[in-house]
Amino acid sequence: MTSGIVTLTTDFGLSDHYVGVMKGVILRFNPQARIVDLCHQVPAYDLLGAGFILAASYSYFAPGTVHLVVVDPGVGSPRRPIVVEAEPWLFVAPDNGVLEPVYRRCPHRVWALQPEIFALKPISNTFHGRDVFAPAAGLLSRGDPPERMAEPIEDFARLEIPSPREIGPGRREGQVLHVDSFGNLITNFQPENLPQRFLLTVGRVRTEALRSVYAQADPGEIFAIAGSSGFVEISIHQASAAEEAGVGAGAAVGLVDRDAVK
């Protein structure tokens, strides 16, 4: 039932030892674990950003994979460490809402981890990734059931995820969820909700063009495209739309339905 795979998503960056130490601990608890980095460059404390990375990734992994997320504005506070079963995957994270995208998409069961059962001792106040989360992920990845290390809960934390909203007849406002390293602006509009004739605006740029592949676009042209993460992206072929627009994650994106607005 376990795949033996543990994925890691953190805001630890790669210039410290934090990620490597977590891997060492996971391998102590499960010497057979295969560990895959999803991303360690989530902006510090950014729950929405970590949620985006996770949502775009988790379903591509084999059933039984353990997805560990350590982005944790409240490390050391009373927020609980949790494990979530959303079949066929398991998720381990702080109970701060970072798993909201999973709650929205999948039936799920949530447990509060009981660190006294399994954590490294003494548990530090500042590095639960090493002392609490890595041991839990290691044990789960070798097939230990959540029941052995956690208690079922119902009152887990939820997170507000911004959705596009109506701001007038035929007008909606969404936002940039993520800017990838190519400068593509990944919005929270879904391709199936794009009107036939539309105008998208973000920062300094605007476009009415929908392309199905990057290579179809003219050099320098701004266009919308159905991206690989399930969202509308605003892109420029072989250049950075984010730079051209002068915006980043969180920026407002306007969408006008040309057939509804004169």
Give the span between the Cα atoms of 191 and 30, in whole angstroms: 41
Binders of a copy of itself in range 126-145 (CB under 8 A)? 126-127, 130-131
The token duo for 45 is 């404390």
Nearer of residues 125 and 163 to a copy of itself, judged by Cβ: 125
Q: Could you say which of 47, 48, 53, 222 contacts a copy of itself (CB under 8 A)?
A: 53
Q: Would you count residue 65 as binding a copy of itself (CB under 8 A)?
A: yes
**Closest distance between a copy of itself and the C-beta of residue 19, in Å?**
8
**Closest distance between a copy of itself and the C-beta of residue 105, in Å?**
16
Q: Would you count residue 76 as binding a copy of itself (CB under 8 A)?
A: yes
The token duo for 14 is 């790669």
The Cα-based distances of 126 to 46, 86, 256 in angstroms read 18, 28, 47
Nearer of residues 164 and 191 to a copy of itself, judged by Cβ: 191
The token duo for 161 is 């995820």
Q: For the residues of 159-208, what is the DSSP string, one character each? A: ------EEEETTEEEEEEEEE-TT--EEES--GGG--SSEEEEETTEEE-
Cis peptide leading into residue 31 (ω within 30°)? no
The token duo for 253 is 């994106």
Binders of a copy of itself in range 169-198 (CB under 8 A)? 178, 180-182
Nearer of residues 38 and 110 to a copy of itself, judged by Cβ: 38
Q: Which stretch binds a copy of itself (CB under 8 A): 125-133, 137-145, 161-169, 252-260?
A: 125-133
Give the span between the Cα atoms of 105 and 75, in whole angstroms: 27
Residues in touch with a copy of itself (CB under 8 A) = 3-5, 7, 12-21, 23-25, 27-28, 31, 34-41, 44-45, 53, 56-57, 60-62, 65, 73-77, 124-127, 130-131, 178, 180-182, 212-216, 225-228, 233, 238
